[in-house]
Amino acid sequence: MKKWLASAIITLMAVVIVTGCGAKNNDNTGSEASGNNSSNAGDTKTYKFATDASYAPMEFMDKDELKGFDIEFLDAVMKQAGLKYEVANTGWDAMLESVKQGTEYQGGVSSVSITDDRKQTYDYSMPYFESRNVIMVKEGSEIKSATDLKGKKVAVQTGTTADILMTKIMGNGNTDLKKFDSNAVALMELDQGGADAVVADIAIVKYYIQTNPNKKYVSIEDTTNFAPEYYGLLFPKGSDLAAKVDPAIKAIIDNGTYTELYKKWFGEEPNTDHLLNAK
Amino acid sequence: MDFKFDIIWDYAPLFWKGTLYTILISISGVALGSILGLFVGFGKMSRRWYLRWPMQSYINFFRGTPLLVQIYIVHFGLMPLLLGKTNSIAAAITALTLNAAAYTAEIYRAGIQSIDKGQAEAAHSLGMTHFQTMRFIILPQAIRRMIPAFGNEFIVLVKDSSLTALITAPEIMYWAGVMKGQYIRIWEPYLTAAFIYFILTYSLSKLLNWIERKANRQ
């Protein structure tokens, strides 16, 4: 009898915890996007977006809350489009796989660069953010460009465009190119002397240098080896969501909402001409 | 489901290299770990508190914290302290050794304590010293009982070595991650990795069964 009672209590607690958390998530994200101001007013479906919230300042967790430029950008876009949505932190791998399937999550927002290879597996929104890979080294390093990195130890995050670019320069299978699961750990490797440089997106590097002034790092922009690249929202192949979202992205760029958001997070004006003219 | 065997073929040499590193890291870990574990285990069984207490804490720490955290501590804390910079392979072996030592220590202790007290008493009454009793009576019986537990620990360690991919030790899981990054596909790299681990652990368990049979036949 006692055993039965104990297991009943445990089950009850589990149910309360699970449903409690679920309800809270809905409050946070779902209801935010209720403002209808466009042609999709009849669409009452709640679209679920996945993200990998380990990419400050683009997307990160502040306690149990998602924050970052991408998160606020998505909010602005979905409000503009008049669509209901939710965002969940699933991690990078789970995001890629579940967005590919498109059943549980219908979109991904996680500073995903638009590349031709990825276009074979996914649909993208129009470009919404211009980025570039930069090299981060200690002050006074002799590394001046990407080609100087040959024969040096370089840390990157696996699967990022920095990884793709450096693999091309240093060769696939080269163990001097250390591929970490996140940029945070790659940056730590540089701190602890295991790497001579980190290559990552400019937003990440600037943010790290800015928040760690005592570590005396500098960023090197190599415009010849690292071309500009563009982030897009990620959708499964054949998704109808891209068509609904693109006009909204254009609209918030045109009406200044985008510029405001950009200034809030990066302290400078974006070059929106580049975005609108990119491919 | 579309499954691209050609990209696995592309990565075959790297998976091969990774397999060798996995074997190197696991064998080093279990070998060094069981030597270190011997001291930790006997320390824990010691009647002297100043030997017993630190070894007990050691075991509690390494069994009570996640291996991943231990790997990060060794990689970003211990290695920079010892070598002045990080070294993923050295860190991988060190972390697995320290971890395995805690588990093997308990295997030694359980094995030795499982032998009936009467055996030692009988040996003492025959006039054997403490060392002789251990060497000729207790250990030969205890080791036979330890073999399955050791085998288990070895197999667990082979699989756990996959965590060192996160500090870029170039073993199987690391190259699976690299492959995943290049193609943004999950199943090809991870199922290939799982397949290799399965081959490794399955042949290992066959080998251990054989050793066990051989030890029991004597």
Per-residue pLDDT tens over the stretch B111-151: 999 999 899 999 999 999 988 998 999 988 998 899 999 99
- No. of helices (H) and no. of strands (E), chain A: 10, 15
Write down the pLDDT at residue B218.
66
Write down the pLDDT at residue A4.
63
Q: B167, B92 in Cβ contact below 8 A?
A: yes
Write down the pLDDT at residue A34.
42
Where are chain A's structural domains?
46-130+230-277, 133-221
B165 to chain A, closest Cα gap in Å: 8
A74 to chain B, closest Cα gap in Å: 23
Query: Hey, of A118, A175, A237, which one would you mutate to test binding to chain B, going by the most B CBs within 10 A of its CB?
Result: A175
H or E, element range at A214:
none
Lowest mean pLDDT among A8-12, A33-37, A144-148: A33-37
Distance CA B171, CA B161 (A): 8
Write down the pLDDT at residue A253.
96
pLDDT tens for A49-90 read 999 988 889 999 888 899 999 999 999 999 999 999 999 999
Where are chain B's structural domains?
5-216
Query: CA angle at residue A57 from A94 to A133, to 5 degrees?
Result: 85
**Mean pLDDT of all residues in A254-265:** 95
Distance CA B70, CA A158 (A): 22
CATH superfamily placement of domain A46-130+230-277: Periplasmic binding protein-like II (3.40.190.10)
Residue A256 in this model has a pLDDT that exceeds 50: yes
- The chain-wide mean pLDDT, for chain B, equals 93
Same fold, A46-130+230-277 and A133-221: yes
Residues of B within 8 A of A181 (CB-CB) are 166, 177
- The chain-wide mean pLDDT, for chain A, equals 87
The torsion angles phi and psi of A131, rounded to 5 degrees, stand at -135, 175
Query: CA angle at residue A229 from B183 to A131, to 5 degrees?
Result: 120
Question: ipTM exceeding 0.85?
Answer: no
Residues of B within 8 A of A193 (CB-CB) are 80, 84-86
| Contact yes or no for A179 and B168 at CB 8 A | yes
Lowest mean pLDDT among A25-39, A176-190, B81-95, B140-154: A25-39
A73 to chain B, closest Cα gap in Å: 24
Which residues, in sequence order, are CB contacts of B128 under 8 Å at separation 6+? B136, B137
Residues of A within 8 A of B178 (CB-CB) are 158, 172, 179
**Mean pLDDT of all residues in B101-109:** 96
Q: How far is CA B27 from CA B94, B204, B209, in A?
A: 12, 11, 18
Write down the pLDDT at residue A35.
43
Place B1 in a pLDDT band, splitting at 50, 70 and 90: low
For the full predicted model, state whether its pTM sits above 0.90: no
Q: Does B80 touch chain A (CB under 8 A)?
A: yes
The A residues from 170 to 189 touching B (CB cutoff 8 Å) are 172-173, 175, 178-181, 185, 188-189
Q: B153, B29 in Cβ contact below 8 A?
A: no
**Mean pLDDT of all residues in A267-275:** 89
Write down the pLDDT at residue A43.
77
pLDDT tens for B166-176 read 999 999 999 99
CATH superfamily placement of domain A133-221: Periplasmic binding protein-like II (3.40.190.10)
Residue B55 in this model has a pLDDT that exceeds 50: yes
Q: A71, A33 in Cβ contact below 8 A?
A: no
Write down the pLDDT at residue A2.
60
Write down the pLDDT at residue A32.
41
CATH code matching the domain that covers B5-216, chosen among 3.40.50.300, 1.10.3720.10, 1.10.150.20, 3.30.1330.10 = 1.10.3720.10
Write down the pLDDT at residue A182.
87
- Scanning every residue of chain A, which has its alpha carbon at the shortest distance from the alpha carbon of B77? A192
Write down the pLDDT at residue A21.
47
Facing A178 at nearest CB: one of B168, B180, B185: B168
Expressed in angstroms, the distance from the first to the final Cα of chain A is: 69
